[in-house]
A = this chain, B = another copy of it.
Amino acid sequence: MSKKITTRSENYSDWYIDIVTRAQLADYAPVKGCMVIRPNGYEIWEKMQSVLDKMFKDTGHRNAYFPLLIPESFLQKEAEHVEGFAPECAVVTHGGGKKLAENLMLRPTSETIIWHMYSKWITSYRDLPLLINQWCNVLRWEMRTRLFLRTTEFLWQEGHTAHAAKEDAEEETLKMLNVYKTFAEEYMAMPVTAGLKTESEKFPGAVNTYTIEAMMQDKKALQAGTSHFLGQNFAKAFDVTFQDEAGERRHVWASSWGVSTRLIGALIMCHSDDQGLVLPPKLAARQVVIIPIWKGDDEASRVIECAHKIKEELSVKFSVHVDDRRQYKPGWKFNEWELLGIPLRIEIGPRDLESGNVVLSRRDKKEKSTVPMKSVSDETARLLETIQKDLFQRARDFREANTFLADDFQGFKERIEENGFYRIHWCGQGKCEERIKEETKATIRCIPLDAVEESGKCIVCGAASPRRVLAGRAY
């Protein structure tokens, strides 16, 4: 705890890894590219899961569990899919001491195994829509990994839905994108831009991929969640048909959508500071820490007793921890809880007992306030709500301040060196997109759903463009 965290201005990458390891969110596993999610990090994932799971169920989805092991031949059935995922797969060749007749892949995503099962389960329009979600681990053999952001194994949820009509599957795709956007903004306090991925950036096997893109504090983009309209690609590859009300046999329509433990990385990089983690109150497993301050033993028992009384009162609405460890000094505790990102600290000393006040200290700002003990519950509620809003507002202001219009390729190439989001005109051709990538290391993040019609000229070739797209360097 005593070693200093690298500051963001010194080295942003080191700062990130320092936060993750010092706050004990994750650790490196012995197998390259894998991570261990430690209790402090897993607690955040549990919070995320419980909110998202409720949102999925409220929109009619049910959870299931499909196997980790996928026969190699399944992956081959959808041409784009195998091309995208086969190179990233981990392969099981032996089981129970014997060489297997067919190699088994560890799921990099579950479309193939799920659509194989759907072909057995779906026969009639009465079976549709089929709205299933799965929480599980997936494996992709990544070359360059970073804790939470890109790891060989990660945890995620993947929704897989089947519909009778094209429009229903498209509506589902956008509905779930919107669930992700709501989650990112209202719970993670992280503003995101929702939009369509370009042809070259879409999910292997999808007709359309939608994304939510967030800006990190180094002004780089992070893809935080995706939702895919799969058309009938997997239904055809796995021959999933249903009999419609007129008695005709038709292929079903599909969507899939997912977010992963990468969101923990996004959360860290969006809000944290040089003192450590900063958690939005809605995703903090512990929202308030109470730190009693004393000199002698007599004082100790009085302030500790008062601390627990306040905890009891607050625990009706909030999750509260009293740090009454006697072996550590208050200043040491302040630093530790700041490192761990607890949104609100309450300090109680002997003088506070006499005056009937406590001190409330926000994690997100260096702001303290003295509050009468009788209004501590109301004030805690007000402050936690304010912190949640302020974090979002600050992140949104930061993104706005670092989003630029760019109309000239040369100028764009120079300015992108400082990262940021750029709204540029693009003609829609792959070769211009490729040139942007090669010459700027930036990518077209998405065609925002709220992009206004505006005729302009492609920043690369000058051909006509109907609206601006969002470009930037990304994780």
Contact = CB atoms under 8 A, between A and B. Distances in A.
Contact of A29 (B37, B113, B141): B113
A93 B96 contact: no
A93 B95 contact: no
Interface in A135-186: 136-137, 139, 141, 143, 152-153, 155
A51 to B, nearest CB: 15
Interface stretch (A66-74, A191-199, A370-378, A385-393): A66-74
B67 A153 contact: yes
Contact of A93 (B29, B89, B94, B113): B94
A30 interface: yes
Contact of A65 (B37, B87, B91): B37
A95 B36 contact: no
Contacts of A132: 39
A87 B97 CA distance: 6
Contacts of A62: 39, 42-43
B63 A42 contact: yes
A54 B116 CA distance: 36
A68 B27 contact: no
A29 B38 CA distance: 32
Interface residues of A, number: 52
Given A35-B67, A38-B64, 16 more contacts: A27-B121, A29-B66, A29-B113, A31-B67, A31-B71, A34-B67, A34-B69, A36-B66, A36-B67, A42-B63, A65-B155, A69-B139, A90-B96, A91-B95, A93-B93, A96-B143
Query: Top 6 A-B pairs ranked by shortest CB distance?
Result: A96-B141, A39-B62, A37-B65, A91-B94, A34-B67, A90-B95
Interface of A: 27, 29-31, 34-39, 42-43, 45-46, 62-71, 74, 87-97, 104, 106, 113, 116-117, 120-121, 132, 136-137, 139, 141, 143, 152-153, 155
26 contacts: A27-B117, A29-B66, A29-B67, A29-B113, A30-B71, A30-B113, A31-B67, A31-B70, A31-B71, A34-B69, A36-B117, A37-B64, A37-B65, A39-B64, A39-B132, A42-B62, A42-B64, A43-B63, A68-B106, A68-B139, A68-B153, A90-B94, A90-B104, A93-B93, A95-B141, A96-B141
